Structure 1
Amino acid sequence: MEYDIWLLMSSGVKLVLSLKYLKVCTTCCTSVQINLTAEPGDTVTLPCRALTHNTTVSTVKWIRPDLEPEDIFLYQDNHQYPTFKNRVELKEEQVKDGDLSLNLKNVRISDTGTYECRCSDSGL
């Protein structure tokens, strides 16, 4: 599933931040299609949910394939890609409830791209 976030610039130009959901484990992730509008500096939530509430998710990985390395955030060791450092957040209590959504703070034009949520109940 894909998500579109519109970044509104002061000049009136709109830029699209395309968010793509990818399910890699049949017991893990699901999502719904949404469209978001954001301005630079806003906080957006990239939605992702565990399929069932009784699934024990051991690893959640948010990636952006066009980056090298592509990891945005890895919920296992709290790893964050340098340009996303201190701008992405996934709360442990959310994960326990099956909510794997990632909060992206202080949205920038450079955040435009495709994002994927990957999860595993036994590590990636």
Structure 2
Amino acid sequence: MYGIARDRHFIRFHCMFIISSVVSSSIPSKPVSISYPVGSQAILPCNWMPQLYNVPIHHIQWQTPDDTVFEQKGEQRWQAPEFKGRVEVPEEKLQEGDCSLIVHDVQLGDVGLYESFVVVESAGTKRRVFLQSVQLSVYDHKSKVSLGVGEDMNLKLYTPKAMRVVFQKRSSKEWTVLWVRGDKANNHHFKEAERVLVIKGLRMDHSGTYKVLDFHGGSVNTVNLMVEEVAGTQTLSQIHQKQEAVGKSFHNRSSILLIIFVLQISLLIQYQH
């Protein structure tokens, strides 16, 4: 990446260009609709070849209706602060006609309309040519999971921007904070490289809804968990009930045997008399 001074120079160039450039060429185009899950890599399609065949392209711009997202001229690049380190147009693909914007770790806040332009220089003049508009939608992850008592649940966070995990029991309307990024008091095992929060030794009362939230409180991942008893495992209550049932059965059998024994003795005495 380039130094601060060079970035500032490029930003000044960008502003001067906007002021001095002629009105952009505009071709009506219906936005291409694309949708990606939060935390994934999104590709906003763009191709300049059909409109500008055999024209060398070195200057590409991507913007929303409100602001510039990304601009690249040769080796100079500029990214909006909220997209810093997350957007690119690969130079080798650009020369082949592919000006698609790659958005890494796409977020809920990235939703919106994006437009691409190229700046063409010819005979000392510059003109900005509209290429493509793209409507980006971003959705959160949702799933239902069934696990057994004593097992571990690997709760996927999907993005480094996941900040909190909250939990709601099936029988409750209240949400409890289970994990906060950077909090040393967290009781659950966090695998940062895998973007996973491990909840160990599940119990029946762990059944409920788990939500992964981003910095703005938006939902990244929602998991509805059902914890079930595993075959061969018994609760303390079940063990006591089984012991009581066995005891009653033994008592009943003993009583029957005693009655039979008494009857046999009675018959034997009568026979001797």
Residues 6-31 of structure 1, C-alpha deviations (whole Å, 9 max, x = no match): xxxxxxxxxxxxxxxxxx447xx9x8
Larger Rg: 2
Cross-structure match for 1:61 = 61
Q: Which moved more, 1:31-40 or 1:96-105?
A: 31-40
Cross-structure match for 1:84 = 83
Which consecutive aligned stretches of 4+ in structure 1 deviate over 4 angstroms post-superposition? 31-34
Q: Which moved more, 1:32-41 or 1:87-96?
A: 32-41
State yes or no: 1:72 paired with 2:64: no
Q: 1:36, CA displacement in angstroms?
A: 2.7
Question: 1-side partners of 2:59 and 2:37: how far apart?
Answer: 30
Are the counterparts in 2 of residues 45 and 101 from structure 1 also a CA contact under 8 Å? yes
Are the counterparts in 2 of residues 62 and 74 from structure 1 also a CA contact under 8 Å? yes
Q: 1 or 2, which has the higher helix percentage? A: 2
- Alpha-carbon RMSD across the aligned residues, in angstroms, is 2.4
Cross-structure match for 2:96 = 97
Q: Is the partner of 2:109 in helix, strand or coil?
A: helix
Structure of greater relative contact order (alpha carbons < 8 Å, 6+ residues apart): 1
Question: 1-side partners of 2:45 and 2:84: how far apart?
Answer: 19
Residues 24-57 of structure 1, C-alpha deviations (whole Å, 9 max, x = no match): 447xx9x886443311101111111113442211
Q: Is the partner of 1:110 in helix, strand or coil?
A: helix
What TM-score does the superposition give when structure 2 sets the normalisation length?
0.32
Matches within 5 A, 1:1-124: 24-25=24-25, 34-50=32-48, 51-66=51-66, 70-76=67-73, 77-122=76-121, 124=128
Distance 1:119-1:86 versus aligned 2 partners, 3 A rule: same
Q: 1:98, CA displacement in angstroms?
A: 1.1
What TM-score does the superposition give when structure 1 sets the normalisation length?
0.66
Unaligned runs of 5+ in 1: 1-23
Question: 1-side partners of 2:64 and 2:34: how far apart?
Answer: 18
Unaligned runs of 5+ in 2: 1-23, 129-273
Question: 2-side partners of 1:94 and 1:32: how far apart?
Answer: 24
Residues 63-117 of structure 1, C-alpha deviations (whole Å, 9 max, x = no match): 0123xxx111101121000110111011111111111111011111110111110
Aligned length: 96
Q: Is the partner of 2:35 in helix, strand or coil?
A: strand
Question: 2-side partners of 1:74 and 1:37: how far apart?
Answer: 23
Distance 1:116-1:35 versus aligned 2 partners, 3 A rule: closer
